[in-house]
Amino acid sequence: MNILITGSAGFIGSHLVERFLNEGHTVTGVDNYISGQKRNTELFLAHPNFTFIKADVSHAIPYVGAPLDWVMHFASPASPPHYQQFPIETLMVGAQGTQNALELAHAHGAKFMLASTSEVYGDPLVHPQPETYWGNVNPIGIRSCYDEAKRYAEAITMAYHRDRGVDTRIIRIFNTYGPRMRLDDGRVMTNLINSLINKTDFKIFGDGGQTRSFQYIADLIESIFHVMNSPRIPVINLGSEHEFDILQLVNVFNSLNSHSIGFCFEEPLGDDPKVRKPDNKLRNSSIGKHNFVSLESGLKNMIQFYVK
């Protein structure tokens, strides 16, 4: 297959590039490095089936090449510090960037995948969250630039399917962790790694009772491949059902290291969801149940990657 991936230098995008190349496909990566990392691109530059285009997909996607089989739109700042630093750019890549990617797919007769997010559910009043839940999002809050960008991206993706006949898939990605995350991305897993490396207290915002379900990056990539190779599913949750509160997560993390990190409590962050967990009924019935990497095993891999 011939595949174009926007956001190819990002955490998830770079793992997708790697998997496709390992399976013998041709990949064009597009990134402007606003939150992606050049070193992720450099992993693949010597590969004969990989081409990289440095571009802002919100302006244009300057692809000139063989007909594409898939356009996979994964470009966007995705961590709170990054999308709060670049709120306009985040909104634009969700709006104009998504339309540009859809236009490219339409022109090539390619299938299209949108990387959406569990953030479209906001601070959910339904738990766990099924794909049919419309969410509880603050449209003017500090996180809204990301949440609403993805909600709009979903809307225009469905419009291109209904109006232009583009074969589209929307995946709502829940909390994912693993190697190649940016250590400055402000997420809980990388904050734990930073505390371990720097021997500093880990900051818990709130009382530590807020919950998340964490999936290892290899599980997400495998799930994406199942979605690609299954009959069309308009929108699907991709995440683990194994739910942990932040205090439980710290305890698991400390159990894997020779020395424990301390922690301290800070004021809660604005609009931070109290719970987040996918309802996986649709996933299990459409692409099959998945044996997720355990939190302990995934954290071990991540610690080994960052702590040399």
For the stretch 42-56, pLDDT in tens is: 999 999 999 999 999
Which pLDDT score is estimated for 140? Answer: 95
User: Is 146 a residue of the active site?
Assistant: yes
Which pLDDT score is estimated for 267? Answer: 81
Report phi then psi at 303, rounded to 5: -60, -45
Query: ∠ CA(57), CA(63), CA(65), 5° rounding?
Result: 160
Which pLDDT score is estimated for 158? Answer: 99
Which pLDDT score is estimated for 259? Answer: 84
The ranges of the chain with pLDDT < 70 are none
Query: For residue 56, what are the contacts with CB-CB under 8 A and spacing of at least 6?
Result: 32, 34, 97
Which pLDDT score is estimated for 206? Answer: 82
Q: Give the tens place of pLDDT for each residue, 86-130.
A: 999 999 999 999 999 999 999 999 999 999 999 999 999 999 999
Contact 123, 273 (CB under 8 A): yes
Q: Choosing from 83, 146, 160, 177, which is the catalytic residue?
A: 146
Please give, one letter per residue, the 3-state secondary structure of the chain. CEEEEECCCCHHHHHHHHHHHHCCCEEEEEECCCCCCHHHHHCCCCCCCEEEEECCCCCCCCCCCCCCCEEEECCCCCCHHHHHHCHHHHHHHHHHHHHHHHHHHHHHCCEEEEEEEHHHHECCCCCCECCCCCCECCCCCCCHHHHHHHHHHHHHHHHHHHHHCCCEEEEEECCEECCCCCCCCCCHHHHHHHHHHHCCCEEEECCCCCEEECEEHHHHHHHHHHHHCCCCCCEEEECCCCEEEHHHHHHHHHHCCCCCCCEEEECCCCCCCCCCCECCHHHHHHCCCCCCCCHHHHHHHHHHHHCC
As to burial, measured by CB atoms within 10 angstroms (0-12 exposed, 13-18 middle, 19+ buried), residue 39 is exposed
Domains defined for the chain, CATH in brackets: 2-176+214-238 (3.40.50.720), 178-212+242-277+293-306 (3.90.25.10)
Which pLDDT score is estimated for 290? Answer: 87
Which pLDDT score is estimated for 289? Answer: 86
Contact 131, 93 (CB under 8 A): no
pTM: 0.96
